[in-house]
Amino acid sequence: MKLIITIHSGLSNTIWLFFLAISLWGILRAIRGLGVDSSYLGAMVIGQGLYWLQGLLGLTLWISGFIDAVSRQEMHILYGAFTLVFMPFVYLVWLRGDDSNRGQWTMALVNFFLFGVALRAISTV
């Protein structure tokens, strides 16, 4: 179980760095007047996959009873659940797959927000 805790902890650092990078990349793309292309969409899917992997590891720790090490358990779980649904909701429901420059601005800011949520989730430990 110690290995899962180490991976969960290390993956959290990977996630906030990844979302910082794709949000800055997205803002640069938006400033240049570009829309969401397959490269940026692929990066968002990879980021979402990282969050799902983090969630599965967290669920494993929770089921195993290792959640007691987290001081604010409810908030940590809430942040984790939020990260899994926020990006797909914005892209599929709010933007409805809009890949224009407006969509690029929106998704860059969504990724920047998810970067902040990752940092906040880490601080609840």
Where are the chain's structural domains?
A: 2-123
What's the chain's average pLDDT? 94
Kindly tell me the sign of the dihedral angle through the C-alpha atoms of 28, 34, 35, 39: negative
Q: Which residue has the higher pLDDT, 71 or 110?
A: 110
Mean pLDDT along residues 118-124: 91
- Residues in Cβ contact with 96 at an 8 Å cutoff, skipping those fewer than 6 apart: none
Rounded Cα distance between 80 and 117, Å, is: 9
**How is residue 23 written in tokens?**
């949000």
Residue 89 has pLDDT above 90, yes or no: yes
DSSP 8-class letter at 69? G
User: How much is the pTM?
Assistant: 0.92
